[in-house]
């Protein structure tokens, strides 16, 4: 199998939805998962994973988030730590703290956050002190 085919197969496995908090659902507590998890409802608590978290347009999250990657289309309040990357799309709203080595912000996104970039790291590794405050 070619390297590109292997990457596509890995991407499709990673995008397979492992869990969903759907619109109209309200959950409180600790969430951990493997695979891609999507939130379209309301969640309050802590979220930890070495996978991808997607917060949909209708999603509202108030949590301490520590995951590999986060895609934000809804509202997030709290500390968001993306070990690999955080994407905030044009309908995304973030209030709190962002810590990640790669931050992608689409035009139209709303941020009221302290942002800190880090080296690519695995969960638990030390962070660098490059800080930026963004308000829009």
pLDDT-derived band at 118, boundaries 50, 70, 90: confident
- pLDDT reading at 30 higher than 80: yes
Q: 57, 77 in Cβ contact below 8 A?
A: no
Helix boundaries (H) for the chain: 3-15
Domain coverage including residue 83: 3-135
**Which residue matches tokens 């209708």?**
58
Q: 34, 17 in Cβ contact below 8 A?
A: no
Structural domains in the chain (count): 1
Average the pLDDT over each of 3-7, 20-24, 114-118 and give the range with the smallest value: 3-7
63/4 Cα distance (integer angstroms): 36
* Chain segment 73-85, per-residue pLDDT in tens: 999 999 999 999 9
């Amino acid at each position: 199998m070619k390297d590109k085919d292997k990457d596509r197969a890995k991407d499709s496995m990673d995008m397979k939805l492992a869990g969903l908090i759907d619109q109209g659902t309200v959950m409180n507590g600790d969430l951990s998962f493997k695979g891609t998890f999507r939130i379209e409802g309301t969640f309050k608590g802590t979220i930890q994973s070495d996978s991808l978290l997607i917060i949909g347009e209708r999603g509202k999250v108030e949590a301490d988030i520590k995951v590999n990657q986060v895609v934000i289309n809804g509202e997030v309040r709290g500390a968001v730590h993306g070990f690999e990357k955080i994407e905030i799309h044009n309908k995304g709203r973030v209030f709190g703290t962002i810590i990640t080595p790669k931050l992608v912000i689409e035009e139209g996104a709303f941020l009221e956050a302290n942002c800190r970039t880090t080296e690519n790291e695995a969960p638990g590794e030390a962070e660098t002190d490059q800080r930026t405050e963004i308000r829009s």
